[in-house]
Structure 1
Amino acid sequence: MHFVFGGAFTGKRKWVKQHYASESIKWHCLYEDAVLPAFEFEESYIVLEGFEHYVKELIHSELESPHLVVKKLIQKWRDSGVWEQLIVIGTEVGKGIVPLDPTERQWRDECGYAYQHLAAHAKKVDHIWYGIANRLKEEVQ
């Protein structure tokens, strides 16, 4: 799994499209549809863009702590074999500023926890800033 994150409108989508330009990609925008897609193995890679929006939807569902759902999701992805094909794009929420609104604060916190899980388990992690990638992690096989 490749986790790509950065601030809003800093070039994450463009960078992923350029970085994987020669690959077959299925793109799922969670801003438009916050439901995770059924994964089909027709493409080389599957991109989930807007993971922070998925976390926000989990908060609104009030079923379980979003970061715990993400932990289970990571295991499910690993077990299903989709892990190697997955590219997750997330926008940083809050950038260190703690919101006064409790719901916004919970969203910031849950995104932080979820991103920690994603980064810990990802094979590659890139931080994108103004279209420039800073590779933070790469597991060599």
Structure 2
Amino acid sequence: MQSVIGGAYNGKRKFVSNMLKEIGANRCYFYEGEIPEGPFTKDEYVIIGSFEKMILLVPDLSEDEIVSQIMGKLMNLDYKTNLICICTDIGRGIVPLSKEDRHLRDTCGRLYQQLFEKSEKVIRVWYGIPEILKEEN
């Protein structure tokens, strides 16, 4: 699994698309705000974005319950090596005023911590410039 993080409209999807073209990936499936069921083959790439939309769908659950649900679905997928998660950094140190916005920011932070721990590669894209934060061989 790989994860790409950056601010909104900072070029994450363009970076992922270009990366997939460079490696010759022909069978790529993009999902926004949902985790697909599969199954997928080893030569297919699954790209999942808009995790914040998934979090907003279950506002009554605790941060830990939401993270556990999402991570459980991701880890149960049988195409882990070809999974790319696109994560929008919504915090940047700013504390939202409303309880709902704080819940979203905090849950995204907890989810991203677990995603990045499990990812073999983590890349931050800031205004179109990629920076590798983590790379395991």
Structure 1-normalised TM-score? 0.85
C-alpha contact (below 8 Å) 1:11/1:130 kept by paired residues? yes
Matches within 5 A, 1:1-141: 1-21=1-21, 22-23=24-25, 24-30=27-33, 35-42=34-41, 44-58=44-58, 60=59, 62-63=60-61, 65-77=65-77, 81-140=78-137
- Partner SS for 2:57: helix
Farther off after superposition, 103-112 or 67-76? 67-76
RMSD (CA atoms) = 1.6
C-alpha contact (below 8 Å) 2:35/2:74 kept by paired residues? no
What percentage of aligned pairs have identical amino acids? 34
* C-alpha distance in structure 1 between counterparts of 2:127 and 2:61, whole Å: 36
Look up the equivalent residue of 1:18 and give its one-letter code.
N
Which consecutive segments of 4 or more residues in structure 1 shift more than 6 A?
A: none
Name structure 1 gaps, 5 residues minimum: none
* C-alpha distance in structure 1 between counterparts of 2:19 and 2:56, whole Å: 28
C-alpha contact (below 8 Å) 1:70/1:117 kept by paired residues? no
* C-alpha distance in structure 2 between counterparts of 1:139 and 1:45, whole Å: 19
- Partner SS for 1:94: coil
* C-alpha distance in structure 2 between counterparts of 1:37 and 1:134, whole Å: 28
* C-alpha distance in structure 1 between counterparts of 2:124 and 2:87, whole Å: 10
- Partner SS for 1:20: helix
Number of matched pairs: 131
Tell me: CA distance 1:67–1:3, structure 2 relative to 1, closer, same or farther (3 Å). same
* C-alpha distance in structure 2 between counterparts of 1:71 and 1:98, whole Å: 25
* C-alpha distance in structure 1 between counterparts of 2:19 and 2:117, whole Å: 22
Q: What are the superposed Cα offsets for residues 55-110 of structure 1, whole Å, 9 maximum, x if unpaired?
A: 2223x2x2453122234234323xxx221111010101121101010000000000
Structure 2-normalised TM-score? 0.87
